Chain A
Amino acid sequence: MTDGLADIGGADIRGPRDNSRLILFAIHSTRGEVDDASRHQLAELRPLASRLVVIVEKGIDAAEAAALSGMSDRVLWFDGRATDARAYRRALQDEFVEGYAEVVLTGNGWFGPIGSFDHVLERMAARDLDAWRLIETADRDPEVFPQEGFPRARAPWIWTVARRETTRTAAWREYWAVERSDDEEDFNDHLVVNGLRTEAAFPAGLGPRGNPGILAPAALLRAGCPVLLRAVFAQFPPLLDRFAVLVRPILEDIERRGYPVAHLWRAVARTTPPAALNALAGMVEVLGDGDAPILGEQESPGRTPLRVCVIVHVPHLDFVDELAGRLTKVPGPFDLVVTTTDGRKAAKLRSRLSKSTHEWARRAVVRVTWVPGGRDIGALLIGCKDILLSDRYDLLIRLHGRELRRKPLNVREYARRYQLENLLSSPGYVERVFDLFRREPGLGMVFPPLIHIGYGIMGRGWGAYREPAEKLGSALGVRVPLDEVSPLAPYGGMWIGRPEALRAFAAHEWKVGDYHRNRRSQWVELTRVQERLLCLAAAESGYHCRTILNAEHAAIAYTALEYKLDELSSNTRGYPVEQIHLLRRAGWTGYGSIVALSRMYVNLNHPRIASVAQPAYRLLRNAALLAKRLVSAARNEHVDDGRQ
């Protein structure tokens, strides 16, 4: 045994003795930014690296890239996408590798380190090898779902290590002499073909399909792997479902092990479509009604008081009693702001509030928000803009008493109870909701999950609002990818959230006129588009959303959901991912007419013909629709797209 502290082993050490390590760290981002999670990686890798070189791909914000020079020895620009061998080739052209015991090719394709790299580095140092990689992937052509919005996830190499002996071989020089769009496994193949000895710290057999990185992240972590792949968050949720990849317990686990999950949330909130994220990370919270338990040790002792404002829109006075009952469920002090549509109602509201036995009611502020066509959301964005934009409150509770006039009584009652009771079930429940916000600084909003009893929103949450939402979203600077089928949204218009999460949305200069009927052609129906954009806007600011249910509503909604899904799944084979993929590939079923069935046949069995025929079909259909519109415009008919 030597007594050198830097030396990690004794005489049987086969790996590099001097421990000098060059780390080439590639940064890829579809958003052109360097996120906290990547910076955390760099900070943690710094002590492991004798020299740390960051390769920044084209399109990354220059100021953010420049800031990395303080965290590394060098920042290099790569004129392309930093997701394959070419990025590292760029660095190797400039960097002198000879002096190092090993070269590590890695990048921001993972979250970590979870625990530390020490263990795995130690283990691999003891192996007599020329090169090794952290995770083996035998699945060279992983299943992807481009049609469902989940194309192949691209990321820099995870972690490949070449030892000094390797960098001196002809095989090494040969490899890097040519430009290649290779992944880690291709590189490994090249070394193996040339007689070099390589291994993986975590073999492909740890996961199904030989793809443990994506399909068995929990097994990897359990085996001591210090990374969680970002690619996990870019998967089609039903695929993860197929292999029981449960991200929620994984996140709990890595948080326990000290990984700052806030970085991860901030990163994935901005890159994964919100509804998909909600599904794959299991973000439905079922909260109890009893006294909220004492917070765990990692939280600050006791509960930090939150500055809470309840903003309620009261379009008719029948709602007042129910509202008053609900507000008694809010624990602790809060301010109340009530908006209503006209001065007469405002006067009545003021007089009723002033007679209340509750202190919060007597202090309440009543505002008149005259926003025709703006429903509840116009009253909020225009009539309470100052509150949304101020720093006065930590949390806003958004409620309203808007009637769903066109729905049957049962549906109206259920929907109202679903909204109100799942937000303000009991003081213990609301305290638990507050605790969610206390625990997670990146939590932007909570609201009940997509309602499915009495409503047919499931399967068509975007309705006619997807294109307008894309348009409005890009006007607001939202670059978070949209969900394909239904967006994650507080469809009922009630939620609890941080004002910061909505600041970007509220900062837009909304005007009363935006909601006017005449603007309909621009936004279809602005209120519904806005409702569907709230989470995306929060995500763009780095805030994620969760959905919440109390135990009673969870039982009602779960048993109904399970029953309906069981029925809906009974005529298609296999796992949900296969059932969904088949139906999605087949396309619109219509009512099963001969035309629809033929179209489905072509889509399923001759996708190439379909890909040619579809644009033509769409062109024809759009032409027909345009003609119809022109004709009706000429006849001066009103077309109302606004569906309830």
Chain B
Amino acid sequence: MTATSELIPAHPRPASAFPVGGKRLLIYVVYDRRGEIEDYIPFALRSLRPHMSHILVVVNGALTAEGRAKLADVSDEVVERENRGYDIWGYKHGLEHTGDRIDDYDEVVIANDTWYGPVRSFADVFEGMDPREVHFWGITDHARVEPHPFTRTGYLPYHLQSYWVAVRREMLQSEEWQAYWRELPEMTSYSDAVVKHEGVFTEHFTGLGFVGDVAFPLLLDVPENYPVLYARQLLEAGCPTLKRRAFFQWPPYLDQVGVVSRWTLDAAADHGYPVELIYADMARNVAPKIMNAGAALMSVLPDEDVSYDPGSPLRTLVIAHIFYPEMTDEMLDRADNLPGTYDLLITTPESERADAIRKRLQERAPRGTAEVRVLASNNGRDQGAFLVGCRDVLLGGEYDLIVKIHSKKTPQDDPAVGAHFKEQQFGNLLHSPGYAANVVALFQKEPGLGLAYPPTVHLGHPTMGHGWWENKRGFRELAASLGIRVPLDDASPLAPYGSMYFARPIALRLLVEHPWSYDDFGGAEAYLDGGLAHILERMPSYAAGELRYHTRTIVASDYLSTSYSALSYNFDQLSATMPGSTMEKIQLLKRLGPWDYGTARDLGRMFVSLHLPAMQGRLKTIYRRSERLRSALWRLRHPSSWFRG
């Protein structure tokens, strides 16, 4: 008895059901580049505990003490090995490590850590699979694809997906099983793991007469990676596992196939899975902008308070760096939109400014304590003020939430552009009392929420596609030195451009802990692209991510109207001259490389990168060496240059 036609061998060997009270071994392979173990793993293992007689965790790579402790609680045995051969060689290692003890078990499950769960119940799955008389079974499967999507020749056979395969006693003790693992080929790439194991395992054993089965057979009549593209529908069908890949794939790809991961997360939450485990894992291991788009982590908040809980207020501190004292009232009026009480810490670089600010404060009704600090230096502007001047309160643990604002004027911009930027910041942070209450409520509801700030400003600013500017290299170096290993986004980072945000101070610890000094920032002349202030402006979400805190963008509907309509029109215009889907357009543009000014040289470079990628280096050298020849040709074509020195 089996669920899909492909799993019926022509000459089936006798198979048996999992005996009542039988023994089951779980070999669970983990890969964590930090060795620290994300919390979704103990959660999954704990829920599998009642079904397993023994849990062996095989770790590809080394564990930290923290990681070891987390696993010790939820498993019987943990072995660490060199990170080689992907999860498949991890399975092999686990099987070899178990050795003859394998005979003690009626079933061995080989599974890896590439899924969250259980979203639906494992008990139901075991209950369904145990009585079936089969040799091996999986949770989900993949239909036959021809030609093979990886090798482009032959075909990818129908197969059980390798993140979970259970094997019964008859097969475990067969010579064929031993031989399969003995002769397992080397695997040096992700593609190897699919081509040499996942894709062939099922067909190999069905061909040998072993009977397979699958808990959630072919979901659709088209071959797809269902757990990634149809995760929500699989959950509806009762599937306990939710593949992580569904959340870190390139958004334009998921978008093209209509995957809305937001709805998958909602479905998981509805089924009772603690989705904060997913957010915490993604915050650490997915580039923040991909996470923002993939999980649609933007909150459109209304002006009516619909969510704030006055019963559990957050200890809130507004940190305002005020360089222009005349903006004091305007800023504090905004801050007064916050619900309940809040403390106020104002920083300013000179005592005259501080006096002017204090005078304004006297005429206002305070909502908590208020302090004005005169800083030792204006170096680093609001960044220096925040990281050096407010270090003590940020690390003090007195506050649950801080609101960082500053007196923004951007005098270097055109006035309308500057005014828009200011409104884009204040308007989307503290739009109205109801709005601000809704923002605070986000932090009340999500303990894992680290930061909330407006989406990237784009009207009047050339930020689209260029959010890093010259700061990426410096960012990478600084992030590494601060111990931030969150992957970096490609075209633009997810960042509070403008440096105003709501944050949990605890989420900013990696950023604040570092002993910054005003000298690190340099004077006004250092306030340039690639300079420390600009690097730090882009860092909060990455720093928070390392500590498992995620970011949301927050937006008021009036800004969204203007922003959405502009983005949509620009997108339409920008994608008008390329063929295919949006994803294909992006891919084509990426392959073409930078356009610069569209000169012969630029288009020539595009041609080379597209059609002669192998020759790129050589042609570059030739181009550089031919400078004199080219300039001679240029002069030849431009007679006016003949008479100039």
Chain A positions within 8 Å of B553 at CB level: 559
Chain A window 180-208, contacts with chain B (Cβ cutoff 8 Å), 1 for yes, 0 for no: 00000000000000000000000000011
Please name all residues of chain B whose beta carbon is closer than 8 Å to the beta carbon of A409 when the two chains form the complex.
220, 230, 233, 258
With A238-B573, A571-B594: A562-B600 Cβ-Cβ less than 8 Å:
no
Compute how far the CA of A218 lies from the CA of B229 in the bound complex, rounded to whole angstroms: 47
**Which chain B residues numbered 398 to 436 have a C-beta less than 8 Å away from chain A?**
414-417, 419-421
Question: CB-defined interface of A144-183 with B at 8 Å, one 1/0 digit per residue?
Answer: 0000100000000000000000000000000000000000
Q: How far is the CA of A273 from the CA of B465 in the complex (A)?
A: 27
- Per the bound structure, the CA–CA distance linking A554 and B560 in Å amounts to 8
A587-B577 contact in complex given A561-B564, A568-B585, C-beta closer than 8 Å: yes
Asked whether B582 lies within 8 Å of A568 as measured between CB atoms, the reply is: yes
A372 to B215, CA, bound (A): 44
State whether B262 touches A556 (Cβ < 8 A): yes
For the complex, give the distance between the alpha carbons of A561 and B570 in Å.
10
Which residues of B88-138 are within 8 A (CB) of A?
A: none
Could you tell me the distance between the alpha carbons of A568 and B555 in the complex, rounded to whole angstroms? 23
> Which residue of chain B has its CB nearest to the CB of A565?
B571
Give which listed residue, B251, B290, B416, B560, contacts A244 with CB less than 8 A: B416
> Mind listing 21 A-B residue pairs with CB under 8 Å?
A215-B416, A218-B416, A245-B416, A281-B565, A409-B230, A412-B258, A484-B576, A485-B576, A559-B292, A566-B456, A567-B490, A568-B571, A568-B582, A569-B491, A571-B465, A573-B596, A575-B462, A576-B570, A583-B577, A592-B610, A600-B603
Q: Which residues of B contact A244 (CB under 8 A)?
A: 414, 416-417, 419-421, 459-460
**Is the pair B467, A282 in contact by a Cβ cutoff of 8 Å?**
no
With both beta carbons as reference points, the residue of chain B lying nearest to A276 in the complex is identified as B569
Residue among A408, A557, A585 with the most chain B CB within 10 A? A408
Q: In the complex, what's the smallest C-beta–C-beta distance from A459 to chain B, in angstroms?
A: 3
Cα separation A87 to B98 with both chains bound (whole Å):
97
B194 contacts chain A at the CB level, 8 A cutoff = no
Contact A591 B570 (CB under 8 A): no
User: Which of A38-46, A103-111, A131-139, A445-453 lies at the interface with chain B?
Assistant: A445-453
Known: A246-B562, A566-B492, A568-B575. A408 touches B222 (CB 8 A): yes
Chain-B contact segment, one of A88-96, A283-291, A329-337, A382-390: A283-291
1/0 per position for A520-553, CB-CB distance to B under 8 A? 0000000000000000000000000001010110
- The segment out of B48-56, B293-301, B510-518 that lies at the interface is B293-301
Counting chain A CB atoms within 10 Å of each CB, which of B563, B569, B576, B589 scores highest? B569
Q: Is the CB of A243 within 8 A of B557?
A: no
Knowing A563-B293, A573-B596, the reply to whether A456 touches B581 (Cβ < 8 A) is yes
Give the contacting residue for B300; candidates A238, A408, A459, A551; CB below 8 A.
A551
B145 at the interface (CB under 8 A from A): no
Cβ–Cβ contact A410 & B569, under 8 A: no
State whether the Cβ of A464 lies closer than 8 Å to any Cβ in chain B: no
Q: Which of A243, A567, A582 contacts B416 (CB 8 A)?
A: A243
Q: Is B550 an interface residue (CB 8 A)?
A: no
Known: A246-B562, A555-B299, A592-B606. A563 touches B289 (CB 8 A): yes
> A453, B258: Cβ atoms under 8 Å?
yes
Does any Cβ of A come within 8 Å of B592's Cβ? yes
A407 to B597, CA, bound (A): 39
- Min Cβ gap A407→B in Å is 8
- CA of A562 to CA of B292, assembled, Å: 10
Instruction: Give B229's nearest chain A residue, CB to CB.
Output: A410
Nearest residue in A to B555 (C-beta to C-beta)? Answer: A558
**B572: interface (CB < 8 Å):** yes
With known contacts A279-B566, A449-B564, A559-B293, A414–B571 Cβ distance under 8 A: no
- What is the bound-complex CA distance between A279 and B565, given in angstroms? 5
User: What residue of chain B has the Cβ atom nearest to residue A411's Cβ?
Assistant: B258
Check: B176 CB closer than 8 A to any chain A CB.
no
Q: Which residue of A lies closest to B297 (CB)?
A: A559
Chain A, residue nearest B581 (CB): A456
B607 proximal to A (CB < 8 A): yes
Q: Given contacts A484-B576, A583-B577, could you give 8 more A-B pairs where the C-beta distance is less than 8 Å?
A: A285-B557, A288-B302, A461-B572, A558-B564, A560-B255, A569-B574, A573-B594, A597-B603
* A562 & B220 in contact (Cβ 8 Å cutoff): no
CA of A551 to CA of B304 in the docked complex: distance in angstroms?
14
A584 / chain B contacts, CB cutoff of 8 Å: 573, 576-577
Question: B455–A562 contact, CB under 8 A?
Answer: yes
**A interface bracket (residues with beta carbon within 8 Å of B):** 35 or more
B569 touches A237 (CB 8 A): yes
Q: In the complex, which residues 266-319 of chain B have their Cβ closer than 8 Å to any Cβ of chain A?
A: 289-290, 292-293, 296-300, 302, 304, 306
The answer, among B255, B417, B466, B586, for a CB contact under 8 Å with A453, is B255
* Residue of A whose beta carbon sits closest to that of B302: A288
A558 B560 Cβ-Cβ under 8 A:
yes
In the complex, chain A residues 380-437 whose Cβ is within 8 Å of any chain B Cβ: 407-415
- Encoded as 1 (CB less than 8 Å from any A CB) or 0, chain B from 602 to 630 comes to 01001100110000000000000000000
Check B491 against A570 for contact (C-beta < 8 Å).
Answer: yes
Q: Which residues of chain B have a CB within 8 Å of any CB of chain A?
A: 220, 222, 224, 229-230, 233, 251-252, 255-260, 262, 289-290, 292-293, 296-300, 302, 304, 306, 414-417, 419-421, 455-456, 458-460, 462, 464-467, 490-492, 553, 555, 557-558, 560-582, 585-586, 588-600, 603, 606-607, 610-611
Which of B304, B415, B572 has its CB near the most chain A CB atoms (within 10 A)? B572
A456-B582 CB under 8 A given contacts A586-B598, A589-B577: yes
Cα distance, A242 to B414, chains bound together (Å): 11
Chain A neighbourhood of B573, CB < 8 A: 148, 238, 459, 485, 576, 580, 584
Residue of B nearest to A581 (CB): B573
The answer to whether residues A563 and B252 also contact, given A293-B304, A555-B296 and a CB cut-off of 8 A, is yes
Residues B570 and A238 in contact, CB atoms below 8 Å apart: yes
Which A residues are in CB contact (< 8 Å) with B220? 409
Question: Nearest Cβ distance between residue A617 and chain B, in whole angstroms?
Answer: 16
Residues of A within 8 A of B566 (CB): 237-238, 241, 279, 282
Chain B residue numbers with a CB within 8 Å of A575 are 462
Chain B residues near A407 (CB, 8 Å)?
258
Q: Do B571 and A283 have beta carbons less than 8 Å apart?
A: no
A80 at the interface (CB under 8 A from B): no
Closest to A145 in B: B573
Contacting residues, chain B, for A597 (C-beta < 8 A) = 603, 606-607
Residue pair B568, A561 in contact (C-beta under 8 Å): yes
State which of B297, B306, B492, B567 has its C-beta within 8 Å of the C-beta of A561: B567
Q: Choose among B252, B259, B419, B603 the residue that contacts A601 (Cβ–Cβ < 8 A).
A: B603
Q: Do B256 and A454 touch across chains, with their CB atoms under 8 A apart?
A: yes
CB distance from B248 to the nearest CB of A (A): 13
- Give min CB distance, A545 to chain B, whole Å: 12
CA distance A207 to B492 in the complex (A): 30
Asked if A219 contacts B258 (CB within 8 A), the reply is no
Minimum C-beta distance from B592 to chain A (A): 6
> Chain A residue with minimal CB distance to B424?
A244
Q: How far is the CA of A575 from the CA of B565 in the complex (A)?
A: 16
CA distance A454 to B259 in the complex (A): 8
Q: How far is the CB of B304 from chain A (nearest CB, A)?
A: 6
Q: Assess the B300–A586 pair: CB atoms within 8 A.
A: no
Tell me, yes or no, whether A248 is within 8 Å of chain B by CB.
yes
> Which residues on B sit within 8 Å (CB–CB) of A461?
572
Q: Give Cα A560 to B596, complex, Å.
A: 26
Are B293 and A560 within 8 A (Cβ)? yes
Query: A353 on the interface (CB 8 Å rule)?
Result: no
Instruction: Tell whether A582 pairs with B582 under 8 Å between CB atoms, given A286-B557, A410-B258, A568-B465.
Output: no
Is A511 on the interface with B (CB-CB < 8 A)?
no
CB-contact partner of B230 in A241, A410, A605, under 8 A:
A410
Q: B562 contacts which of A243, A248, A290 (Cβ < 8 Å)?
A: A248
A219 is contacted by which of B416, B491, B579 (Cβ under 8 Å)? B416
Chain A nearest Cβ from B118, distance in angstroms? 23
Contact call B304/A288, Cβ cutoff below 8 A: yes
B541 to chain A, nearest CB (A): 14
Q: Which of A248, A407, A461 has the most CB of B within 10 A?
A: A248
Q: Is the C-beta of A72 less than 8 angstroms from some C-beta in chain B? A: no
